[in-house]
Structure 1
Amino acid sequence: MSAYPLPLMVWLSPSFPVGAFAYSHGLEWAFDCGDVTDAAGLHDWLLALVEQGSLRNDLILFVSAFRAAVAGDLAALGEVAELAVAMANSAERRLETVTQGNAFVIAAKASWPCAGFEALAAAWAGDVAYPVAVAVAAAGHDLPLPASLDAYGLAFVANLVSASVRLGIVGQTDGQRVIAQLVPALHRAAAAAAGLTLDDLGGCAFRSDLAALRHETQYSRLFRS
């Protein structure tokens, strides 16, 4: 197995049918109100999500779901799945994670079936948060956890940079520069998450959380979050 298995590239590609392109994670409101208007501001905004915000929590949830699936611990897997949905701190954040998570499960079960999805169905009957869905697939296909975390984090950042390009915050070249600048932080966040548990969940990216709430009533919108 290579260090970066091909299934991760497929599942976390923009072509995989989860609808990630429809979500800005509150960036649309941040741009509209003047919080994020250029490459430097975008970098700082995303870095906060990586180190102290929603991506950090997603990576911790990913680790816990992955390990529960590997161990066949249905009680632990159900706990993580329930908590991951509860951690969505606004209606649009919940919509974003469960719409992508449910879509991922449907698409991956049809094209990349594995025992992990059967375990998830037995452990949890509700909506599936996106990090839990991808984690279960990675565990079910015996993919390495470090590479899976790296790939998930990079896809998160790349999708928000894509949204920023469509909003006009940055151009394509500056967007790629922002992604490249964030790679070391993504590696650190993934490595740190591998040693954390559900007790370590939490964050302090308050402006991003506020943006997600304010976006719900934003007058003119391109994105669903």
Structure 2
Amino acid sequence: MLMKTNRPPKARRGRREEASARKLPIPAPDELSDDEAANLYRLMTWLSPSFPVGAFSYSSGIEWAVEAGDITDAASLGQWLASMLVNGGGICDAIFLAHIHRAATAGDDALLGEIAELASAFVPSRERHLETTAQGRAFIEIARAAWHHGALDRFITACGGHFAYPVAVGLVGAAHHIPLAPTLHAFLHAVVSNWISAGARLVPLGQTDSQRVLAKLEPDVAATAKRALSVSLDDLSSTTFRADLASLRHETQYTRLFRS
């Protein structure tokens, strides 16, 4: 037996019609300009883990830190990386990127050469030098081949063959007129993500714990980028001595998964 309702069908139809009549206002389109869309597309591509610069081959000394017992879980990995980011290689690379981008934008070829040479020299070990220059050269070559821009050729010549990774990213970003701030944030996110990926394979960590570490480092990334935008090359410094020792001792590890 069918159940009866106390509400007549006509009344139900009337309420539906009332609801359909109350339409929410349609917001104005929130669209990117053509330049903004191109910039976002390129940054997401260039600083994606799939961009073939070989970043997965390097651990920035994290491999030794895990073997030595300095990094044993997600918490200790996060603390190690926060120190590297705020007081070590992270902030130094960010400063180099900011200054090379500005020099390229200003067309100061002499300054480009000076900054590029300093960035290549400002690493604590042979393996870290290999890490930053190998990735830098790969980044330049691939970006130049796929997204050729005439200004980049001049920047490359001015740098005299010195292409640390942050220098390469800054040069390509400036050549394509991508603003400095988003370029810097994307670069730091890529660097931190690669550190976490190395740590996750070495500790090891699960995917959720890895993402928790990345989430916890978000304010450190933002603060490092902000600081790099406001300091001079005279403010370059690194106080992560244990991380520097890790990169030096990695060469003599008995077994190694990474090149640094």
TM range (shorter): over 0.9
Match of 1:161 in 2: 196
Length-normalised TM-score, structure 1:
0.97
- Structure 2 counterpart of 1:198, from 233, 238, 242: 233
> In the alignment, is residue 72 of structure 1 matched against residue 107 of structure 2?
yes
**Secondary structure, counterpart of 1:5 in structure 2:** helix
Match of 2:214 in 1: 179
- Structure 1 counterpart of 2:87, from 45, 49, 52: 52
**Rounded Cα–Cα distance in structure 1 between residues aligned with 2:154 and 2:240:** 33
CA separation of 1:158/1:168 partners in 2, compared to 1, >3 Å: closer, same or farther? same
Question: Which structure's relative contact order is higher, taking Cα pairs within 8 Å and 6+ residues apart?
Answer: 1
> In the alignment, is residue 11 of structure 1 matched against residue 42 of structure 2?
no
Query: Given that residues 71 and 203 in structure 2 are in contact (C-alpha distance below 8 angstroms), is that contact kept between their aligned partners in structure 1?
Result: no
Structure ID, larger Rg: 2
Shift in Å, 1:2: 5.5
**Rounded Cα–Cα distance in structure 1 between residues aligned with 2:127 and 2:208:** 29
Match of 1:122 in 2: 157
| Structure 2 unaligned regions, length at least 5 | 1-35
Shift in Å, 1:170: 1.9
Letter in 1 for 2:180: L
Letter in 1 for 2:232: T
Deviations 1:11-52 (A, max 9, x none): 011111100000000000000010001011001000001110
Length-normalised TM-score, structure 2:
0.84
**Rounded Cα–Cα distance in structure 1 between residues aligned with 2:150 and 2:88:** 31
Letter in 1 for 2:108: D
Deviating above 3 A after TM superposition, structure 1's stretches of 4 or more consecutive aligned residues are none
Shift in Å, 1:6: 1.7
**Rounded Cα–Cα distance in structure 2 between residues aligned with 1:116 and 1:81:** 16
- Structure 2 counterpart of 1:90, from 111, 125, 129: 125
**Rounded Cα–Cα distance in structure 1 between residues aligned with 2:151 and 2:55:** 23
**Rounded Cα–Cα distance in structure 1 between residues aligned with 2:160 and 2:87:** 30
CA separation of 1:206/1:165 partners in 2, compared to 1, >3 Å: closer, same or farther? same
**Rounded Cα–Cα distance in structure 1 between residues aligned with 2:249 and 2:151:** 37
> In the alignment, is residue 140 of structure 1 matched against residue 180 of structure 2?
no
Identical positions, percent: 51
**Secondary structure, counterpart of 1:76 in structure 2:** helix
> In the alignment, is residue 22 of structure 1 matched against residue 54 of structure 2?
no
| Structure 1 unaligned regions, length at least 5 | none
Letter in 2 for 1:202: S
**Rounded Cα–Cα distance in structure 1 between residues aligned with 2:128 and 2:201:** 20
Letter in 2 for 1:97: T
**Secondary structure, counterpart of 1:170 in structure 2:** coil
Match of 2:134 in 1: 99
Q: Count how many residue pairs are aligned between Structure 1 and Structure 2.
A: 225
